[in-house]
Chains A and B, each alone.
Chain A
Amino acid sequence: MSEVFFAGVRLLDPATGLDATGDLLVRDGLILDHGTGLGRPDGVEVIDAGGLCLAPGLIDLRAAIGEPGAEHRETIASAAFAASAGGITTLCALPDTDPALDDPALVQFVLRRGEATGCITLLPYGAATKHCEGKEIAEYGLLKAAGAIAFTDGRRAIGNARTMRLALSYARAFGSFVVQHPEEPSLAAGGAATEGELATRLGLPGIPAAAESMLVQRDIALARLTGGHVHFAHVSTAAALALIRAAKADGLAVTCDTAPPYFDLNETAIGDWRSYAKLSPPLRPEADREAVVAALADGTIDAIASDHQPRDADDKRLPFAQAEAGGAGLATLLGVTLARVHGGDLPLLQALALLTARPAALLDLPGGRLAKGAPADLVLFDLERGWQVKAGQLPGKAQNSPFDGRALEGRVVGTWKAGRRVFG
């Protein structure tokens, strides 16, 4: 019987709105109790962390991992280490690996590799289409039975309307949903930056904001047609968010997430040809960033995901248009989100809900809350402690942070997975 006792911490549970100083007792990997005046059992390991915040471990809805197929960029073990350092205890892995996770055996492989790390729950998505090629839908029933949490082609959009219709429709049979990378492929092809003045100045091929909103519009129509549930990943534009807001008001099964770069950075971050800030979708103008912040505040956005895309130096040390898109995001997920709390845009509990309770609800997971009997997946953090993001010194293999050089306030002090300390 293993026990951990957190003494005098600021307990933060977005699921219930709890924000109070108290204690929390963990036994056998579960939260036994929390509150004030808990009895401290004999022989218990005491974490005396007065003043620090204790919240449910973060649930990251979207992260690419190099394994299988691109282990030089990131392995499941290195991603798990980086996730733990970032306070993440549940990581949802994208299936557009090599090979793609379109076979039950591959889903099970990733699940087992995740378990072997001992520090995170790794939940793989299944491929929405075979080989993530966007043509034929994959075996959703078998993939779900093997452990796939939902279906997506990762950073590839399902561009064909009929394929998307079939995917949304078929996923209903298994109570699941389809995650779309909302970007019309024929408009985005070859693009390196958001279309507009900056891309024109830099002589970079542009991707118009309409590439995002038109696919969102199409898929909302398909959700209406099929009764299926579509989830839009890393939404980055005001136009797309307005469509999603309206679809939700209509009662459609439409959800979405965004990622920290889209509410913390704007397109000017690619100035001086900074390929670390080359992302997919591309960073947008300031007005879109502000719209993303507003959609976080009003609840239109259901979750904040790291959108971790590991890249190595060979991927990034190239002329901008040739450099690979994607940013590392595991270690900075909490800190950059807290920047919006310090900036006055989001209350602390609401920000944490976007990283815990709300993705847990979306995926129907038991974690993401500080409830008696819930898994003791916990993050202890210092809301005020300052630090600076430095590419080259981040945990894990991937160092391609678009936040390189960014000063942040709010740092993970310790992470517990099922009651076992895995970081700090």
Chain B
Amino acid sequence: MSFSFPILPDGHLLAIEGLEPPHIGALLDLAESYALLNRQGKTQRDLLKGRTLINLFFEDSTRTRTSFELAGKRLGADVINMSVSTSSVNKGETLIDTATTLNAMHCDLLVIRHAQSGAPALLSQKVSASVINAGDGTHEHPTQALLDALTIRRRKGRLEGLTVAICGDVLHSRVARSNIHLLTAMNCRVRLIGPPTLIPAEAARLGVEVFHDMKAGLAGADVVMMLRLQRERMTGGLVPSSREFFRFYGLDAEKLAWAKPDAIVMHPGPMNRGIEIDSAIADDPERSVIGEQVEMGVACRMAVLDVLARDLRRNV
């Protein structure tokens, strides 16, 4: 697949916000083709041959790191995982020092996850590698939004005009922010559902509708996207208890019945079963596309690596 315009013009993928619909569409098309190749068991190991991809994770992650690792390896990159121990994490000095180290190692593609919003952007100013944001604080998680969009598009045949309900802890969710930017750019109707304490200030100005009631929010929804409620939010007093949260905002069969009959259920993982999602829903093959999300994750990350590597080749 070739493109007549640069897909990621600044040579990094730091955020969905700022990407234009044609760029998003092109990334999804490319990812779709990788999804097909992956299912056929074919690889393209020459594409990133000789390139070094470093997974730099300042926060624990199994799913995202593995997904990037697999994507890099399927394209032939040398993949190195660097986990920065959680005890010494969040020291900014480490971040700048790490940039110096990575430059010395001649890393080509740098995948970074960090607990601080803006950390990948800061790093991108200091390293020579292409930087891919694999989740920064409560800011963005762009590849998650791409894989969610691809999953929706494959299931629903389109994005435009769909009603997508994003439910739960939107306040702390980088997944929600990236999805809001991507889905509104692609002309979906996006709704946020959650208690007011978990909805960020002036969220409606992001082009979404805000609901505090699941029944009203889910009515007519094509896609129900659940977010992970992190346990520390409970101790922060933003919601009084997990049982109350599940009663009013947890997804079970009764609440799902308020959405469209063919609505699909998504979750970025890892799930808190019984807190934001009932197991019967999460494991229902008719409704849940959680497994497909993981599959599309690898394909989308291959597409992102491919696009950034094209720029690397141009710059040689």
CA distance A317 to B122 in the complex (A): 8
Q: Which chain B residues border A323 with CB–CB below 8 Å?
A: 92
B96 to chain A, nearest CB (A): 6
CA distance A200 to B176 in the complex (A): 11
Query: Are A319 and B118 in contact, with the CB atoms below 8 A?
Result: yes
CA distance A319 to B177 in the complex (A): 18
Query: Are A272 and B121 in contact, with the CB atoms below 8 A?
Result: yes
Query: Are B92 and A322 in contact, with the CB atoms below 8 A?
Result: yes
Q: Within the complex, which residue of A200, A205, A317, A320 is in contact with B203, where a contact is CB–CB below 8 Å?
A: A200
Query: Are A318 and B92 in contact, with the CB atoms below 8 A?
Result: yes
Q: Within the complex, which residue of A206, A317, A321, A322 is in contact with B201, where a contact is CB–CB below 8 Å?
A: A206
Among B96, B114, B118, B136, chain A packs the most CB atoms within 10 A around the CB of B118
Query: Are B137 and A321 in contact, with the CB atoms below 8 A?
Result: yes
Interface residues on B, range: 20 to 34
Does B116 have its Cβ within 8 Å of any Cβ on chain A? yes
Given A204-B117, A273-B118, A273-B121, residue A319 in contact with residue B205 (CB < 8 A): no
Q: Within the complex, which residue of B17, B114, B203, B206 is in contact with A319, where a contact is CB–CB below 8 Å?
A: B114
- Which A residue sits closest to B115, measured CB to CB? A319
Does A364 have its Cβ within 8 Å of any Cβ on chain B? no
- Could you say which of A68-76, A191-199, A297-305 contacts chain B? A191-199
Query: Are A202 and B117 in contact, with the CB atoms below 8 A?
Result: yes
Q: Within the complex, which residue of B17, B90, B177, B202 is in contact with A322, where a contact is CB–CB below 8 Å?
A: B90
* A 315-340 contacts with B by CB, 8 A: 317-323
Does A203 have its Cβ within 8 Å of any Cβ on chain B? yes
- Which B residue sits closest to A319, measured CB to CB? B116
Does A314 have its Cβ within 8 Å of any Cβ on chain B? yes
* B 268-313 contacts with A by CB, 8 A: none
A424 to chain B, nearest CB (A): 36
CA distance A321 to B172 in the complex (A): 14
Query: Are B201 and A319 in contact, with the CB atoms below 8 A?
Result: no
CA distance A272 to B93 in the complex (A): 20
Query: Are B117 and A197 in contact, with the CB atoms below 8 A?
Result: no
Query: Are A203 and B206 in contact, with the CB atoms below 8 A?
Result: no
B315 to chain A, nearest CB (A): 23
* A 188-245 contacts with B by CB, 8 A: 195-197, 199-206, 208
Query: Are A203 and B205 in contact, with the CB atoms below 8 A?
Result: no
Q: Which chain B residues border A273 with CB–CB below 8 Å?
A: 118, 121-122
26 example contacts (A-B, Cβ-Cβ < 8 A) are as follows A195-B201, A196-B201, A197-B201, A197-B205, A197-B206, A199-B200, A199-B201, A200-B200, A200-B202, A201-B206, A203-B136, A203-B139, A203-B177, A314-B93, A317-B96, A318-B116, A319-B92, A319-B114, A319-B116, A319-B137, A320-B118, A321-B116, A321-B117, A321-B118, A322-B90, A322-B116
User: Footprint of B on A, CB under 8 Å?
Assistant: 195-197, 199-206, 208, 272-273, 314, 317-323
User: Footprint of A on B, CB under 8 Å?
Assistant: 17, 90, 92-93, 95-96, 114, 116-119, 121-122, 136-140, 174, 177, 200-203, 205-206
Known: A201-B177, A204-B117. 16 other contacts (CB 8 A): A197-B202, A200-B200, A200-B202, A200-B203, A202-B117, A203-B117, A203-B140, A204-B118, A208-B201, A273-B121, A273-B122, A319-B118, A319-B122, A322-B92, A322-B116, A323-B92
